[in-house]
Amino acid sequence: MPKDRERTLIAPFFSPFYSSLLPAVFKPLGYRLDVLPPQDKASVEYGLKNINNDMCYPAVLVAGDIIKAFQSGQYDPKKTSIILTQTGGQCRASSYVSLIRKGLTDAGLEDVPIIALSNEDINPQPGFIIDKKELIKRMALCIIFTDPLIQMYLSTVVREDNRGDSKALHAKYLSEMETGIERADYHYLLNLLEKAVADFNNVKVSDLPIPRIGVVGEIFVKYNFFSNGNIIEWLSEQGVEVVLPCLQNFFAQRFVNEDFDQKAFFKHSIVDSLKHKLIYIYTRYHLYQIERVMQQFRFYRKPFNLKDLAEITGEVVSLANQFGEGWLLTAEMIAMLNEGIGNIVCLQPFGCISNHITGRGLEKKLKEMFPHLNLLSLDMDAGASEVNILNRLHFMIIAAWEEMEYGAEVTTRHATMTMSFPGFRIWPKDTAIFDNYVSLEIEKAKAWVSGLNLWKKASDFIRK
């Protein structure tokens, strides 16, 4: 319907790395899209009030954010539609549409259309007419060019001499990408990436060695700063380089899934098989051009080939695990371990069964293959203890610094190691460090005990 094009589309905030480009994706297709502000505590309150508390944390945040937007009065329900992405399948996140619909109905907003972008027809809207080919093209360009920009930002921000240089560059080029996304101009974006590489290379940085910590997990919690407690920026501030998997892998795994499903007889379609092979060749060509530019970046890391990595992952977990992040979560951990990154944080919403299986559930198996694995699995939820999370992260940071200092960070390790004592991380020659640390902790304990006034209380009790 022509009138539906007059509606403003609102989309929940996903990540500061990607969300700002979404309006540029929809503008040339005839739609105005507003990305809602980043989530806050009010989003959590609205979500918990209107959504089942057993639902995953991202669902609570997304639903609460949308309901909050309408309750604020900023958007007219008669002139606004909601748009969001859905993976479909056996995942609690597939309930977003029904949950938001329930919350809107309870708030008296049952007539607001909800558009779900997905491979499946989860909630088709007959009034939403859009050129799917052009939409997919712009969305793909958005992802494949923001991924390398994130890599340069995370590698540089922790080493920069002048604080704020990397963030300013990242914001600058993210803004300039809007023109290329609107035009769907691949070559414009490629030239822009070359300039970004040159500028990031010119940022003054420290030459001191930096420990690395990998961050993997559920797609929303991994990239959304509010839901993960701002863990990415916090780790960078602690002097740690955060290694974050590319978002494009989440979509590229479809090529591997298609091959596996055909070979396992989960499906049989020569047309689909041929179509995916041609698309794969087409995308690999364009990704190679981006990779050629990225090789000029001073902290360049060669990306892994997802199909090759899937073969290794298949020895650990079945590639039939395709719901949630599925086998990709395990694959990303294996890729990091092969790079020598043994300290890995795995983020997932509380009760996320699929990610618990392919993440925390495979820790024992992965440790047999890579004894240097130090996996920290964190469940993110509205009631998660910030102090508990920070304490556990502090221990991981200490481990990362010690491993780098004593040469324990390696590319690969095998199970043919001699007996060691992992409990003692500090060598005898550095006992002064240990003594200082223990002394500090003892003083803290003394201060805490003295604050209880136990001696005074005991004296008062005796007098009585």
pLDDT of res. 427? 37
Q: Which helix (H) or strand (E) holds 389?
A: helix 386-405
pLDDT of residue 294: 96
Compute the distance between CA of residue 136 and CA of residue 131 in angstroms, rounded to an integer.
9
- 214 beta partners: 243, 344
CATH value of 2-130 in 3.30.420, 3.40.50, 1.10.10, 2.30.280: 3.40.50
Structure confidence at residue 455 (pLDDT): 53
- Name the helix (H) or strand (E) containing 100: helix 96-106
What DSSP assignment string belongs to 393-425?
HHHHHHHHHHHHHTT---S---S-PPP--TT--
Looking from the CA of 75 toward its CB, the CA atoms found within 13 Å total: 23
End-to-end CA distance of the chain: 85
CA gap 291, 301 in Å, rounded: 10
For the chain, the farthest-separated pair of C-alpha atoms sits apart, in whole angstroms, at 91
Q: Is 315 helix (H, G, I), strand (E, B) or coil?
A: coil
CA dist., res. 9 & res. 254, Å (int)? 28
pLDDT digits (tens), the chain, 464 positions: 456 677 899 999 999 999 999 999 999 998 999 999 999 999 988 888 887 777 788 888 888 899 899 988 889 888 899 998 876 666 666 667 777 788 788 878 888 888 888 765 545 666 678 888 899 999 999 999 999 999 999 999 999 999 999 999 999 999 999 999 999 999 999 999 999 999 999 999 998 899 999 999 888 999 999 999 899 999 999 999 999 999 999 988 889 888 888 888 888 888 888 888 898 899 999 999 999 999 999 999 988 888 889 999 988 888 888 877 888 999 999 999 999 899 999 998 887 777 778 888 888 889 989 998 999 999 888 877 788 888 899 999 998 888 887 765 444 433 333 333 333 333 333 434 344 444 445 554 554 545 555 555 555 655 55
> Could you give the CA distance from residue 303 to residue 297 in angstroms, rounded to a whole number?
13
Q: How far apart are CA 464 and CA 462, in angstroms?
A: 5
Is the alpha carbon torsion for 396, 398, 400, 402 positive or negative?
negative
Q: How many CB atoms lie within 10 A of CB 198?
A: 11
